[in-house]
Amino acid sequence: MNDRSRKIIDSSFSKLAKISLALMCAAVAAFTLPIIIKGAGAFLFTATSEHEKILEENFGADLSDGQKERIKRGEIQKEKIFSEILELENRKSLEAQKIITDEIDAAFAKLQKQTDSVLSAAKLTSSKRRKAFADISTSIWGDFASRVKEATQMAEKNGAAVSFEKFLEKCSEDVTERAKQYSGSKALKAQIKPVARAALRRSICQLPNSELELSRKRLSEINAAYFTFKSGVNKLLGPVDAKQKASEKLPRNKYGQSRMDMARKVFEESVCKIRVIATDKNGHSTFQSVQTKEYFKGTPVEKIFDEIEENFDALMQPHFVFYGGFFTNDPVDSNLLGGIFPMIVGTFYLTLGSMLIAAPLGIIAAIYFSEYAKPSKITSALKMCVGTLAGVPSIVFGLFGLAFLIDTLKISDGKSVIAGSATLALLILPTIVQSCAESLKSVPQTYREASLGLGAGKWYTICTVILPAALPSMLTGIIISMGRAAGETAPIIFTAATSTGVALGLSQIFTNPTPALPWNIYNICSEHEAAEMVEHVQYGMVFTLMGIVLSLNLVAIIIRAKLQRR
Amino acid sequence: MDNKTQDNTPQSNAVVSARDFCVYYGTHKAVKNINVDFARGKVTAIIGPSGCGKSTFLRCINRMNDLVDGCTTSGKLMLNGVDIYHKRLDVTELRRRVGMVFQRPNPFPKSIYDNVAFGVRLKGRIARSDLDEIVEKSLRGAALWEEVKDRLSSSALGLSGGQQQRLCIARALAIRPEVLLMDEPCSALDPKSTARIEDLIAELSGKYTIAIVTHNMQQASRVSDNTAFFYEGNLIEFGETAKIFTNPKKQETNDYITGRFG
């Protein structure tokens, strides 16, 4: 190969290496930056006044006067909205009601006057009789249909749709009752057969009731839409009054949104837009998403919506907070409120527990391999076993932990921290053995010679010369394994993890399962009932887990640097 | 030296005596039927071309070759008349009496003080003041005290190569060995450091019995009282250094010291 082509190969290789390094850095940045930024959002965010309220009521936080003042300011604004909502639900449109009651009264008055024609019609044969009754009904009800529509529109406009729906229901019962009374009155009873009376009753009720039903249906659609809107407002601002708050079972329903980003999301998705029932061409009912403002155009609901939109900041009272409680508070209501303390504690228990089991065993095995074992078939077989064990998929370790440690050895009744720790210990043991043996091997032979040459025994040499010299790289290997144990999910699914729970005390680690970050990250991302509402917690957990693993690695680097300087 | 004329009992002033001593690596005989006596308080240089078995022989004197797999011996090697390879011999005790300085300086990654104190502490607990005294004495003995007295607690790895080698000598001296084995102690050092070590060996001669393996014939002639010439596992010639270098009896010795081979 000539000089030129050698140079070309050298330079192109160095360029290639630089490009691949740059790509790797970019990939790492693309991977970690969102986690860091969004993860920090779990504890550094713009909060609403609900945030402090939640802290006070769930975690006994002492609020400063300023915070109390802020909550109060928000409450005053919310109170306005809430009172409007309550007023709206109880508002009665008396005018509209009167139109209908008047109509019904007038119809029955007309009916009374037509008793003669009723009597004569009753004597006809059944088919003719039915027609005659229908004619009477038409004549007495007149333009009832258009009146009902008019009244319904009026009520709708006045925002009395909720109460008017109830009123229409009552009207319908009323009409039936009055028709029954009329057909059962003494005058008719004596002269008309029961079959004909029943036919008469049906005829009288049919027309008004179907009209009333039609309007009621229309109103119930509107009201359903309204209640969807209201529940969106509840989600955003919290329950309308103490009574509702007390009746809510889920803590998530007892408060409005505590984060501004979530508040905006809820506002846009559940308040600005609502899902209503619509009937398609084929007559099937389907859900449809509509703009609140358009749907309720010209009604008081639109006014409430406008008020919320205009006073959004006054309602939410946005302020920037550092929520340290994210790391120290227990979660409330499936992580929708509160922090991730039990998961952090669980991760620490599992990691430290696995370390306490695996590190001594691993170091002893490594010392045996590097200092005592003579090259033989058994030694190389043992080494091969350790190597193979290092390659076993972690899910298999998890199953092994369940089948052997829990079901066969019965080290605990079910999942427990100790079972999880032992499983994780088995998982990282081969790595520890290999890295420690490697570290011990890398201690220069001259140290051994020097120590033995001074009359030291083998054990003394190992303890005073070889182990101290190998310690930095051994610790590095062990701590990196620790990071792996902290992040492993599969082994603890079977042996230790539970999706909810509080932080365990030391005495419970032999009996109780624990939440732990890796498992809960999976759980909260894919099994959570309201995963989109806990996105910040998802990122926060990932951030915390990465923080734990990276700080373990950092500790390894620091220890290494310190010990090497000595 | 003729094996048959050699007296089979050690000379009265001999510290290390070999009688028909052989070393094998597996089946390969690396050192063949050596008969030699290292006199008390004298510096004995072992010279010879690479692979002649001189280091192997030296390392047998404190049984460092035990660390080598498949290394066996036959014949007798005695320290003060006691068989070094006796079954019931306490190897650690032997090594305490026969100190060793290696080819490359190999201080422990500990402080200068701890390096020197290492061997002393092996014997058991010792008062700090006594230990201080031994450390100072040993460092003075290795002509290193003046250079390191202000930084005894700093790492030994921060010393220069020559200083490290003198520290290793001080470390060996601290346990007061009878014999000091030096396996090419200057081969990894620059000429200035080499000169200091040679001065030190001159100072130590008389107090310790020293055996030094060297490739450097000038060094052998400068520092040693007696010289043993090894060639292909055999001890070709042993005698006073002056005689060996001026008037060797054997042709091989003459060829080697005049630089014909090796």
Domain CATH number, residue B61: 3.40.50.300
Task: Verify that A211 and A346 share a domain, yes or no.
Answer: no
User: What is the CB-side half-sphere exposure of residue A240 using CA atoms within 13 A?
Assistant: 15
How big is the CA angle at A92 (ends A87 and A95), to the nearest 5 degrees? 145
- Report the gap between the CA of B172 and the closest CA in chain A (Å): 7
Instruction: Locate B40 and state its tokens.
Output: 């008390």
Q: CB distance B69–A448 less than 8 Å?
A: no
Q: Which residue of B118, B134, B171 to mutate against A (max A Cβ within 10 Å)?
A: B118
- Report the gap between the CA of B183 and the closest CA in chain A (Å): 12
Q: CB distance B109–A444 less than 8 Å?
A: no
SS3 A370: helix
**pLDDT at position B11 over 80:** no
Instruction: Locate A257 and state its tokens.
Output: 């949104």
* Angstrom distances, CA of residue A317 to CA of A61, A72, A553: 19, 10, 41
**pLDDT at position B2 over 60:** no
- Establish if A152 touches chain B: CB-CB under 8 angstroms: no
Q: Are A215 and A152 in contact (CB under 8 A)?
A: yes
Instruction: Locate B109 and state its tokens.
Output: 């990654």
Task: Verify that A218 and A342 share a domain, yes or no.
Answer: no
Q: In the prediction, which pLDDT does B5 show?
A: 41
Domain ranges, residue A152: 89-222
* Residue B6 belongs to some domain of the structure: no
| Last residue within a domain, chosen from A222, A253, A287 | A222
* Residue B87: strand pairing partners: none
pLDDT tens-place string over residues A110-162 = 888 888 888 888 888 878 888 888 888 888 888 888 888 888 888 888 888 88
* Residue count of chain A: 566
Tell me phi and psi for residue A230, to 5 degrees.
-65, -40
Query: For chain A, which residues score pLDDT lower than 50?
Result: none
Q: In the prediction, which pLDDT does A354 show?
A: 95
* Residue A210 belongs to some domain of the structure: yes
* Residue A230 belongs to some domain of the structure: no
Q: In the prediction, which pLDDT does B14 show?
A: 85
**pLDDT at position B125 over 50:** yes
- Give the CATH number, domain containing residue A342: 1.10.3720.10
d(CA A338, CA A334): 9
- Establish if A376 touches chain B: CB-CB under 8 angstroms: no
- Report the gap between the CA of A437 and the closest CA in chain B (Å): 19
* Residue A429 belongs to some domain of the structure: yes
**pLDDT at position B190 over 50:** yes
d(CA A304, CA A91): 15
Task: Verify that A209 and A357 share a domain, yes or no.
Answer: no
- Establish if A469 touches chain B: CB-CB under 8 angstroms: yes
| Percent of chain B residues topping a pLDDT of 70 | 95
Number of domains in chain A: 2
Residues from chain A that touch B168, judged by Cβ atoms under 8 A, are 450
* Residue A227 belongs to some domain of the structure: no
Which member of B110, B155, B175 has the closest CB to residue A454?
B175
Do β-strands B98-101 and B226-231 pair in parallel, antiparallel, or remain unpaired?
unpaired
Q: In the prediction, which pLDDT does B3 show?
A: 42
Residues 257-286 of A with CB under 8 A from B: none
- Establish if A448 touches chain B: CB-CB under 8 angstroms: yes
Q: In the prediction, which pLDDT does B8 show?
A: 54
Confidence of residue B171 (pLDDT cuts 50, 70, 90): very high
| Percent of chain B residues topping a pLDDT of 90 | 45
Q: In the prediction, which pLDDT does B6 show?
A: 46
Q: In the prediction, which pLDDT does A405 show?
A: 92
* Residue A248 belongs to some domain of the structure: no
Q: In the prediction, which pLDDT does B9 show?
A: 58
* Residue B165 belongs to some domain of the structure: yes
Q: In the prediction, which pLDDT does A327 show?
A: 93
Which member of A450, A456, A465 has the closest CB to residue B92?
A456
* Residue B78: strand pairing partners: B17, B83
d(CA B42, CA B91): 24
* Residue A288 belongs to some domain of the structure: no
Burial A248-272 (b: 16+ CB within 10 A, else e): eeebebbbbbbbbebbbbbbeebbb
Residues from chain B that touch A448, judged by Cβ atoms under 8 A, are 67
- Establish if A444 touches chain B: CB-CB under 8 angstroms: yes
d(CA A523, CA A498): 9
pLDDT tens-place string over residues B203-213 = 888 889 999 99
What mean pLDDT value characterizes chain B? 88
Number of domains in chain B: 1
